[in-house]
Amino acid sequence: MQKMVIEGGYPLSGNISVSGAKNSVVALIPAALLANGVSVIENVPDIRDVYVMKDIAEELGAVVDYKKNENMLIINAAPARKTKVSEEKAGRARASYYFLGALLGRFGKATVPMPGGCNFGGRPIDLHIKGFETLGATVTEDEDVVVATTKDTLFGQEIYLDFPSVGATINIMLAACRAEGRTFIRNAACEPHIVDVANFLNAMGARITGAATGTIRIDGVDEMHGAVHSVIPDQIEAGTYMIAAAAVGKDVTVCNVIPRHMEFLTDKLIQMGVKVEEGGDSIRVSACENPKAINFTTTPYPGFPTDLQPQMVTFLTVAKGESKVREGVWNNRFQYVDELKLLGADIFAEGQNATVHGVPFLTGAQVRATDLRAGAAMIIAGLMAKGKTVITELEHIDRGYEGIEEKLRAIGAHIQRIEE
């Protein structure tokens, strides 16, 4: 078993670079299967979820070459013929559900077992299914396996999402690219990776407009071809390093970011008293003496993202005063709070609300990475805490952060991975 060991209290300084966005690339790989040709995806992070999605694409018959030293994926989707994802593979990543939209679009049928991934309470895909059905597909769910088929073709329609779901927006967009006629997705998600996926699809021959607004218009096309695309920087990885720098940074520059994608966080950190300066494609962050408590609610983009909630709560554990946090996206995303309490944090969490009372300092302890972003939060906690913190269940962290220990070590963190 691997463990991460962190000696806390060492200030961070220097440049730290952000990799390509996980939540974009896990959609770009299935998107590549819409083409009858070769796509090249650049700036692909070396993380476990990429390998899972690559394995599924290969299971479906695509030929995939991951040149990890160049962070490049070459996907030849021409030989792909199969339309069924195995249960074992689908269970390894939440994003396996994107093969539903991609296979339905290209072949008119898809069989995908209900996906795995982090557990924040119920993670239904009813909005995805409603979207496929509105486009004319027949969708059945039998023993947790979703089968979507269309007799002839999909037909463009108006689809309203009850919630701006990231997954449903992308999945419907994938299927609608090949539908006959025009589709509108209303109340669509606006996250930066929605735009990234739309840009890739357009480069492949799709006709999508309005990504990043609440209404996405897709004019169906008969054929799609391979394309070359570079993945946008990972907004959540960038935010994780900004929060680490705010907590223990002397002077850290987070490089390869799109500052506009980080405004929700920049604003909150400045409110807390942290010094934040935006550059062209970088953000410089320096910790302050006595960070102030703040309140925040997670909401879909451009609001404060749920995927940075655990990291921000971790920083708030030492902010002076009382902070109130509301989780507005998932109904069970405070599981990690018990781990922070082991380090001496004073947090009361119930349902979708948490109240944090700042304490003077955290003290190292053994904690678990209960999910991907909770794992990132434990790393920040370990950097902040006095003494030694040991983190277990690292497989969650490895799903989504490329070389996180190496990157943090290079700016002064005392962090290592040990095998036991």
Q: 131 near 89, Cβ under 8 Å?
A: no
Shortest Cβ 124–ligand EPZ spacing (Å):
4
Q: 76 near 60, Cβ under 8 Å?
A: no
Shortest Cβ 208–ligand EPZ spacing (Å):
18
Q: 310 near 333, Cβ under 8 Å?
A: yes
Buried b (16+ CB within 10 A) or exposed e, 257-277: bbbebbebbbebbeebbbebe
Would you say 165 or 256 has its CB closer to ligand EPZ?
Answer: 165
| Nearest CA among 88, 86, 72 for reference residue 32 | 72
The one-character DSSP state at 155 is: B
Catalytic residue among 118, 177, 255, 288: 118
Would you say 220 or 305 has its CB closer to ligand EPZ?
Answer: 305
Would you say 107 or 304 has its CB closer to ligand EPZ?
Answer: 304
Would you say 319 or 378 has its CB closer to ligand EPZ?
Answer: 378
Would you say 107 or 330 has its CB closer to ligand EPZ?
Answer: 330
Amino acid at 267: D
For the question of residue 288 being annotated catalytic, the response is no
Q: SS3 for 98-143, per residue?
A: HHHHHHHHHHCEEEEECCCCCCCCCCCCHHHHHHHHHCCCEEEEEC
Shortest Cβ 213–ligand EPZ spacing (Å):
17
Classify residue 102 as exposed, middle or buried by CB count within 10 Å of its CB (0-12, 13-18, 19+): buried
Amino acid at 326: R
Shortest Cβ 51–ligand EPZ spacing (Å):
15
Shortest Cβ 329–ligand EPZ spacing (Å):
5
C-alpha 119/C-alpha 296 separation (Å) is 22
Interface ranges with ligand EPZ (CB under 6 A): 23, 26, 94-95, 118, 122-128, 163, 165-168, 189, 305-307, 329-330, 372-373, 400
Q: What region does 30 belong to: left with phi over 0, alpha with psi -120 to 50, or beta? A: alpha
Q: Which residue is nearest to ligand EPZ (CB)?
A: 167
Q: 42 near 72, Cβ under 8 Å?
A: yes
Would you say 206 or 329 has its CB closer to ligand EPZ?
Answer: 329
Shortest Cβ 290–ligand EPZ spacing (Å):
30
Residues annotated catalytic, as ranges: 118
